[in-house]
Amino acid sequence: MIRLGVNIDHVATLRNARGEFHPDPLFAALFVKNLGADSITIHLREDKRHIKDYDAKRICSNKRILVNLEISTNQKIVKTALKIKPNYICIVPENRKEITTEGGLNLEKNKKQIKKIVSNFNKKKIRTSLFINPSIKDIKLSKTLGSDCVEIHTGKLANLVKSKKNYDNELRKIKNCSILAYNLGLEVHAGHGLDYKTTRLLTQIKHIQEFNIGHFLIGESIFQGLPKVINNFKKIIK
């Protein structure tokens, strides 16, 4: 079964804009789960621009929710993640100046650090994923580093689709990487910039087992409502 992961970071962004307690990310997590989301993604950034420590603790402690916690390699963030024990973590690159995650991890440059972090989570029986560009080299490295899963960065594909440019080569790269990852025993996830059209394109790749979708899904729900948007995505990936 192909799974739908819903990133609720922007629920926290909306709350933080007012500096109050509404809307509550924990309520959002439970709400979208009841609507059919298979897992919830939250990103505990170093700058805490949306999800705060107390959000992550409350959400991860609720056993009704399957939580994918995105984290950087920052030691303090890693320590917090090990303490609150999400169901699985996804290590992502992080840059304070970026608006959103701009690409995959530089595995070659940071392989010692990442391998140690992955090992620490494996010891706690917390599943690990690495957020990577669609690169054959990075797929092989992810396996070497001991990760359980890879999440392939789909941002470039999404941008090509939205700008109505030729995306065949990028889609082929994602497909080849997905096949290799699957054959190596890695679970394959896809995420970043996904909307209806790009997600529908990626469902052609049968090796992708999970789609993680946030910005478009939350944004579109302003007009259509969360129940309808989640149902639309569930129909696309089924």
pLDDT value, residue 73: 96
What domain range is 201 assigned to?
3-229
∠ CA(61), CA(45), CA(114), 5° rounding?
90
The per-residue pLDDT for range 14-71, each reduced to its tens digit, is: 999 998 899 999 999 999 999 999 999 999 999 999 999 999 999 999 999 999 999 9
The per-residue pLDDT for range 168-227, each reduced to its tens digit, is: 999 999 999 999 999 999 999 999 999 999 999 999 999 999 999 999 999 999 999 999
**Number of separate domains in the chain:** 1
Note whether residue 234 is domain-resident: no
Q: How far apart are CA 32 and CA 6, in angstroms?
A: 8
Note whether residue 87 is domain-resident: yes
Note whether residue 238 is domain-resident: no
Note whether residue 39 is domain-resident: yes
pLDDT confidence of 8, banded at 50, 70, 90? very high
Q: Which residues are catalytic?
A: 43, 70, 192
Whether residue 93 has a cis bond before it, omega within 30° of 0? no
Note whether residue 149 is domain-resident: yes
The per-residue pLDDT for range 87-101, each reduced to its tens digit, is: 999 999 987 665 556
Note whether residue 235 is domain-resident: no
The strand pair at 187-191 and 67-71 is best described as unpaired
Chain-centroid distance of CA 58 in Å reads 19
Q: Are 198 and 170 in contact (CB under 8 A)?
A: no
Specify the 3-state DSSP secondary structure of 120.
helix
Q: What CATH number does residue 35 fall under?
A: 3.20.20.70
Note whether residue 237 is domain-resident: no
What would the two tokens of residue 162 be? 């939205």
Residue percentage of the chain with pLDDT more than 70: 97
The per-residue pLDDT for range 112-141, each reduced to its tens digit, is: 999 999 999 999 999 999 999 999 999 999
Q: What beta strand segments (E) does the chain contain? A: 3-7, 39-43, 67-71, 88-91, 127-132, 149-153, 187-191, 208-213
Q: What beta strand segments (E) does 13-104 contain? A: 39-43, 67-71, 88-91
Note whether residue 133 is domain-resident: yes
